[in-house]
Structure 1
Amino acid sequence: MANDDVPIGRRVARWRVRRSMTQQMLADRLRRSKSWVDKVERGVRALDRYSVIQELAHVLRVDPEMLLGQPRSTPAGPPDGVDDIRAALARYNSPQAPEQPDELRRQVGYAWLSYQHAHYGQLVRVVPGLLDAVQGARSPELLVQAYRITSSLLVKLGEADLAWLAADRAMSAAGDDPILAATAAVSVAQALRASNRDRLALTATLAAANRILPAPSYPADHEVGGLRGDQTARQPHDQRGEGRGGG
């Protein structure tokens, strides 16, 4: 419950103005419509999910408690479990024996499902062990997936710099595979956007897109010349034929 009577939508509008952002700018950073922002600020649309409030607070660079009208608690460190994720990212050799690929795919799928259902607290506890497991397997595909999950989770937890590190690990794991590199670049762009580095995020996205686009094919010079020569050779013959027909 909030400790004052100011609606949360009005607080969102107040902080948006303080950050010199228009409704459209806020909507773009949230990947939502301007209409959605307008309805939130007018109280027409309720903010009943804490994950959405966290996302708003992150973009507006305030604590979620400020939007909720709650007194700010004493400064705290990173969310529980983030230090374990940081330690797992700092390890380059897995401390455990590699597991079977099918079991690892099941774990990666479970982690993605947990993320999609916003079970972040549960996922924080799972990610360190998952990172250790996929490092032992040395599968580029599984490594990219695990690092992408880690990066996405860290963005949601407000750890943008650590999220960028995880996304960069995904890019390294992708190697020369253009598809894996492109999917990893999505995480790089998300982490950079969370750090308010929109231009770098766009650059990373375009670079990945260029890697997977097919190279344009042009006809060889001799083919162009041959076609042009063939057309040139035919034209006098056709004209002569037309002349005889007309005569």
Structure 2
Amino acid sequence: MADDPDAARRQEIAGRVVYWIQRRGFTRKLFADRMGKSISWVDKIKSGDRQLDRLSVLEQIAAVLDVRLHVLLDSDEAARAESCADSVEIEALQEALQRYDGICGPPEFDQPPDLPVLNRTLNYCWTAFQASNYQAVTRLLPDFLVVLQQPYRGLPDSPEREPAANYLTQAYWLAAEIAFKLGRTDLGWLAGDRGIVVAEWTGDLALVGATIRRLVHALMASSGTDSGRRGVSLVMATAARLDAALATANPTLLSAYGALFLKGSIAAARIHDASLSRELNTEAGRVAALLGGDRNEHYSAFGPTNVLLHRVSALADMHEGGRVVEEASQISPGQLATLPRERRATHLLDVARGYSQWGKRDNAVQLLLQADQIAREEVRCRPLTHTLVLDLVRGYPRGSRPTAPLARIARELGIQV
């Protein structure tokens, strides 16, 4: 190998091939069959065989794995592709959301599904999401959504149908959240629309309120000029519906109610209604006080600290850079430590936006790098963060270059440095 100058390069390529074989869920035999080769040939490729020097072989491998050729050849392209869910995985999520056979067709199981197992899988997916492991969620969720539809449809007279509907609703929330993170508002809207049908069937106001929150997000992220206003109106109408049940509300309903106001505060900020945004945030703070502390009911992370974070986020959306920094300074590290990584990283990026708006580029870069340490996919995979990094890179004066850590992130995002 010492006499072979290309051996190290082949090993790098082989490592990428192995990664994508595993990520696509291929067995050695399945990959061999799709390549029209033997399993022993696959083993040679995985060990860095000289055939990896042949462009025709690499092109065929890339086609079978459904990746661009440069993902196998270029280190920056490879890092970018490995960081985030790709088009194949997003398409699988779209196909799962567009399927109705599990809702409208006959059940396809011989034995009722094990609901505790489904619940554990759901909790695993939500835990991964709150850890900003969006790629793992995107890989698991399509098949899981289809599986969850079966007990909801197939247990019409069973007491198990209600928990099945509960789990399915929460899975639709997760699909919506992932779609929003990846900039696919259309899929988020579809997931929310599917979820509200199931949530309404349960009659559980906490499920209804939390599902409406996703629909509000879809409205405020859409391109219509009045969509933000409609989002705020939907918040107010749903809050009025939930309000009647607050006298006997449990923490789950309180969290759904309060988080709805937080989403409304962001919707108001997006239409630059500062007064309404502040009013809705204040109302959320009142509900958080009733809750008595930071909680994570239905994976909402709702509580007093999240109210403060949304105040910062709303100000960033209104381009109030100085006020963003001022409000953020009131939040202690101890308060942030109570929140999931996804929330902490999102907050750091909001404050970074504030510093950038305020003209404090170095402070913004520092917070961006901190967010990248906490939740890599929150930085590498969101269109909103891509815009922030692009602004920071362009903010360097002619003849000056970004710092090495920022330049590395920019390159992985496909931004020329």
TM-score by length of 1: 0.52
Aligned partner of 1:168 in structure 2 is 193
Output one character per residue of 1:2-54: Cα deviation in whole Å (capped at 9) or x when no partner.
Answer: xxxxxxxxxxxxxxxxxxxxxxxxxxxxxxxxxxxxxxxxxxxxxxxxxxxxx
| 1:179 matches 2:206 | yes
Structure 2: how far apart are the matches of 1:141 and 1:210? 23
Letter in 2 for 1:194: A
Aligned to 1:159: 184
Q: CA deviation at 1:79?
A: 3.0
Report the CA distance between 1:108 and its aligned residue: 0.8
Residue 121 of structure 1: how far off its partner (Å): 1.2
Give, as a single letter, the amino acid of the residue that structure 2 aligns with 1:119. Answer: N
Mapped to 1, the partners of 2:246 and 2:87 lie a distance apart of 48
Task: Determine the structure 2 residue equivalent to 1:207.
Answer: 237
1:96/1:133 contact within 8 Å kept: no
**Does structure 2 retain, via aligned residues, the 8 Å contact 1:182–1:211?**
no
Partner of 1:141: 166
Q: Which runs of 5+ in 1 are unaligned?
A: 1-77, 218-247
Residue 147 of structure 1 aligns with an amino acid whose one-letter code is Y
Deviations 1:132-152 (CA, angstroms, capped at 9, x unpaired)? 121012122111100000000
Q: CA deviation at 1:185?
A: 0.7
1:105–1:215 Cα change, 3 Å = closer
- Structure 1 pair 102–215 and aligned structure 2 pair: CA distance change class (3 A): closer
8 A contact 1:96–1:132 mirrored in 2: no
Partner residue in 2 for 1:131: 145
Partner of residue 16, structure 2: none
Greater alpha carbon shift after TM alignment, 203-212 vs 179-188: 203-212
Match of 2:98 in 1: 90
CA drift of 1:195 comes to 2.0
Letter in 2 for 1:200: R
Q: CA deviation at 1:179?
A: 2.1
| CA gap 1:208/1:80 in 2 versus in 1, 3 angstroms | same
Aligned AA for 1:202? V
User: Contact 1:84/1:128 (CA < 8 Å) preserved in 2?
Assistant: yes
* Superposed CA offset, 1:208-231 (max 9, x none): 2122111799xxxxxxxxxxxxxx
Equivalent of residue 118 in structure 1, options 113, 125, 132: 132
Distance in 2 between residues matched to 1:216 and 1:177, nearest whole Å: 13
**Compared CA separation, residues 216 and 122, structure 1 to 2 (3 A):** closer
Q: Deviations over 1:85-124 (max 9, x none)?
A: 1111111223853521111111111111111111111111
* Counterpart residue identity of residue 182, structure 1: G
SS class of match (1:186): helix
Structure 1 residues 216 and 163: alpha-carbon distance in aligned structure 2, compared to 1, 3 A threshold: closer
Structure 2 CA distance for aligned equivalents of residues 141 and 161 of structure 1: 23
1:150-201 Cα distance to aligned partner (Å, 9 max, x none): 0000000110011111011111111233221111111111222222532122
TM-score between the two structures when normalised by the length of structure 2 = 0.32
Identity between Structure 1 and Structure 2 (%): 30
Which letter does structure 1 place at the counterpart of 2:240? N
Q: C-alpha distance in 2, partners of 1:204/1:131?
A: 26
CA RMSD of aligned residues (A): 2.6
Matches within 5 A, 1:28-47: none
Check whether the contact 1:144–1:173 (CA below 8 A) recurs between aligned residues.
yes
CA 215–187 in structure 1, closer or farther in 2 if over 3 Å, else same:
closer
What count of residue pairs does the alignment treat as equivalent? 142
Within 5 Å, which residues of 2 pair with 1:20-31?
Answer: none
Query: Could you say which residue in structure 2 is the equivalent of 1:107?
Result: 121
